[in-house]
Amino acid sequence: MSQTFTDSQEYVASPELTEIVNIALDLEKPLIIRGEPGTGKTLLAKAAANVLGRDLLTWHVKSTTKAQDGLYVYDTVQRLNDSRFGDNDVSDISQYIKLGPLGLAFQSEQPVVVLIDEVDKADIEFPNDLLHELDAMSFLVSETGKTITAKHRPLIIITSNAEKELPDAFLRRCLFHYISFPDKSLMTEIIKVHYPDLEKNLLAQVLEAFYALRDFEGISKPPSTSELIDWISALRKSGIAPKQLQKSIPFLGVLIKKEEDLKALQQPVKKRGWSGVFRLFFIVEEPKSSGIS
Amino acid sequence: MFLDFFLLLKNQKVPVSLSEWLTLMSALDRGHGKASLASFYSLARTICIKHEKYYDDYDRCFAHFFYDEALAKNPDIGEEFHHWLKTAELPELPEEWGKKTFQTWDRDRLLDELEKRLQEQKERHDGGSKWVGTGGTSPFGHSGYHPEGIRVGGMSRHGRAIQVAAKRKFANLRNDQILDTRQMSLALRQLRVLGHIGSQDELNLPETVRATSQAAGDIDLVFQASKKNTVKLLMLSDVGGSMTAFAKLCETLFSAASGASHFKAFAHYYFHNCPYETLYTDMSREQTIPTKDILKTYNSDWTVFIVGDAYMSPYELLVPGGSVDYHHHNEIPGIEWLNMFRRRFPASAWLNPIPNNYWYGESISLVRDVFPMFPLTVEGIFEAAKMLRNIQQRRK
């Protein structure tokens, strides 16, 4: 292994995840990353590219994306138009072949990192159409008869939101990791990356309130890391004292985005003897005080 | 040596194949996963497990293989059970218990007994000396005082439990549990059959070539509609009576099906226990519509889900006038109506909120003779939708 992935200033990864990225690098297998929103799936690829000193090629998958788009697109309409108006040399097909992110990665002189973002947004058959290309790391441009083969096998990171089951044949060729939601100690590190000078006292209170909110039953969309970071920023700007957080949660709208969830939080807390979660130490404020912008 | 571990995963229905095994071997050859058991744990997991829903199974197999053999023997210490134990209040320990002698068993005996009690026990126990529960002197449960007991959930209180069956961090990622709307609508998405509909925004190359050559080389671009879902879904739900217990679940399915934008059309009606000559357009069963109209209005292109527990007296299905409603006399027995639906809609299935291991009773088997029945879980819907989609595709 010539290169290894480590934690960086910008991205805090668990030791387990770091090791898995390195395994993926060494075994040259695509790595599928799954996890709750806001656990840093997409950022992982960026961090890996940074640390490894490689270029990052991102392929944002949409519901209409086809596997072919990642390899190359043959711009027929352009060529037809050119032939009509005599603009370019239409006999040179190669100028109408536009390489996609995978195509570019294969052609690159340097090893790169490819991020296939939200792979399950596309059609159910999408991953299957990439099987051969990921295995052989080459594809044929049928219009020109040329085969493009990877000079260096790229590190491929695929993120998925579990919207669709990925096909078995595809999964067999990949490594898989599920990023659990960060626990308090990892979260502390993550926050320190964003706010290195955050007061210790405030941090402790913020985390306490945040995790209590996440555990609150009846919330359909628990707040995630990015919401927590926005919230801290709001708290700092308004200069709220850490003690205040024991009594209420200001700017709740930053953390909770769904109206039903806000309502659920505002209902009088039912006393259920069995759960520590319901020892709620905060009184939720009216939503009108939660707008910050 | 890891082959046994691998086979254990396979036995526990974790989907692993030869290619994962080979990848694992080559990773080990390259020096990965050798630093500690923990690094092997994550290496093998990242290679063998391709969905977080299997993490829990993996943990159980791993614990079984590398720590003890208890878990595999009792793979299904029920979730509910864990819940009791996790949340129980600790009873005070009576003083005389401190002196009491405990029954001591060897491990095998303990496991057998645990299994036996898990099967027999139907309710929660805090304190006491026989059943699995919290506190008390029974060898099973947590926070208890038996010196060699099996801890089931809870915190290690006396540090003596010879097996810990509870550290299952990923248990809530299993998907045999009944899940939320979003997952249901994703399961329903399996129904999708694509066809060209909507606005014309896609270049139709063969047509363009044809049109262009017909225009003697003057380029004529032809566009077509892109492919969209053509599926039409009709849902009939049983409401009231025994279905009240499943109301929340049915609601979830309903909002998944109606909210999902992936159907071309969606329609729904209600019935009670069994569809007869009238169906209802509202849940309180006040607005009626003749069933014959529905059979006429919707053609066989529609995909049909019937949601109900199919749990009734066989009389209600087989006998004219058998309807459970006292004021209602049906000329045609329920089973005939079901058959009419089945004949009209080849792509139809019955979703039953009762878990499939409880499908006893004559009425359920009578209904199953007419409709393929699936449990109303994410996996059940998934399987049903897959089957119906295949039927629809074959019809085209």
pLDDT at res. B373: 93
C-beta atoms of B87 and A80 within 8 A: no
Q: Is A110 on the interface with B (CB under 8 A)?
A: no
Q: Is the pLDDT confidence value at B265 over 70?
A: yes
- pLDDT tier at B124, thresholds 50, 70, 90: very low
DSSP B46: H
Q: Does B191 reside within a domain?
A: no
Q: Are residues B372 and B298 in the same domain?
A: yes
Q: Does B313 reside within a domain?
A: yes
Q: Is the pLDDT confidence value at A75 over 80?
A: yes
Q: Is the pLDDT confidence value at A16 over 50?
A: yes
The percent of residues above 90 in pLDDT, for chain B, comes to: 6
Q: Are residues B369 and B275 in the same domain?
A: yes
* Residue-by-residue DSSP string for B60-75: HHHHHHHT-SHHHHST
Q: Is B19 on the interface with A (CB under 8 A)?
A: yes
Name chain A contacts of B222, Cβ cutoff 8 Å.
none
- pLDDT tier at B194, thresholds 50, 70, 90: low
Q: Are residues B247 and B317 in the same domain?
A: yes
Q: Are residues B376 and B271 in the same domain?
A: yes
Q: Are residues B27 and B109 in the same domain?
A: no
What is the spatial distance between Cα A169 and Cα B101, in angstroms, rounded to a whole number? 58
Q: Does B179 reside within a domain?
A: no
Which of B23, B29, B46, B386 would best serve as a mutation to test chain A binding (most A beta carbons within 10 A)? B46
Structural domain of B217 = 199-228
Task: Render pLDDT for B294-308 as a digit per residue (tens, 0 to 9).
Answer: 888 888 888 899 998
pLDDT at res. A99: 92
* Domain boundaries A15-179, corresponding CATH code: 3.40.50.300
Q: Are residues B46 and B98 in the same domain?
A: no
Q: Which residue did the predictor score with more confidence, B130 or B193?
A: B193
Task: Render pLDDT for A156-188 as a digit per residue (tens, 0 to 9).
Answer: 999 987 666 677 888 888 999 988 888 888 888
Q: Is the pLDDT confidence value at B260 over 70?
A: no
Tell me how far apart the 2 most distant CA atoms of chain A are, in Å.
81
Q: Does B73 reside within a domain?
A: no
Which domain-ending residue is among B181, B210, B228?
B228
Q: Are residues B356 and B293 in the same domain?
A: yes
C-beta atoms of B52 and A34 within 8 A: yes
Q: Measure A39 CA to nearest chain B CA, in Å.
A: 15
Task: Render pLDDT for B45-85 as a digit per residue (tens, 0 to 9).
Answer: 899 998 888 888 888 777 777 765 444 445 444 444 444 44
DSSP strand pairing (B194-203 vs B278-280): unpaired
Closest residue to A176, CB basis, from B26, B49, B219: B49
| Average pLDDT of the segment spanning B10-30 | 87
Q: Are residues B355 and B293 in the same domain?
A: yes
Q: Does B188 reside within a domain?
A: no
Q: What is the reported pTM?
A: 0.59
Q: Measure A141 CA to nearest chain B CA, in Å.
A: 18
Average pLDDT, chain B: 72
C-beta atoms of A164 and B186 within 8 A: yes
Domain layout of chain A by residue ranges: 15-179, 184-290
Domain count, chain B: 4
Q: Does B176 reside within a domain?
A: no
Q: What is the CATH number of the domain that holds B268?
A: 3.40.50
Name chain A contacts of B212, Cβ cutoff 8 Å.
80
Q: Are residues B224 and B234 in the same domain?
A: no
Q: Is A138 on the interface with B (CB under 8 A)?
A: no
Spell B345-373 as b/e; 16+ CB within 10 A means b.
bebbbbbbbbeeeebebebbebbeebbeb
Q: Are residues B266 and B368 in the same domain?
A: yes
What is the spatial distance between Cα B355 and Cα B315, in angstroms, rounded to a whole number? 23
Q: Are residues B240 and B385 in the same domain?
A: yes
What is the spatial distance between Cα A216 and Cα B342, in angstroms, rounded to a whole number? 45
CA distances from A32 to A20, A268, B41 (A): 11, 42, 18
Nearest residue on chain A to B50, judged by CA atoms? A176
* Residue-by-residue DSSP string for B186-218: HHHGGG--EEEEEEEEEE-HHHHHHHHHHTTT-
C-beta atoms of B46 and A176 within 8 A: yes
Q: Which residue did the predictor score with more confidence, B155 or A165?
A: A165
Give the amino acid at B165: A
User: Which positions ≥6 away from A154 have C-beta within 8 Å?
Assistant: A57, A105, A106, A108, A111, A112, A113, A114
Q: Are residues B259 and B351 in the same domain?
A: yes
Closest CA to A219 of A190, A168, A262: A262
Q: Measure A202 CA to nearest chain B CA, in Å.
A: 29
Task: Render pLDDT for A238-289 as a digit per residue (tens, 0 to 9).
Answer: 877 777 777 777 788 888 877 777 777 766 554 433 333 433 444 444 444 4
Q: Is A23 on the interface with B (CB under 8 A)?
A: yes
For residues A217 and A277, the answer to whether their CB atoms sit within 8 Å is: yes
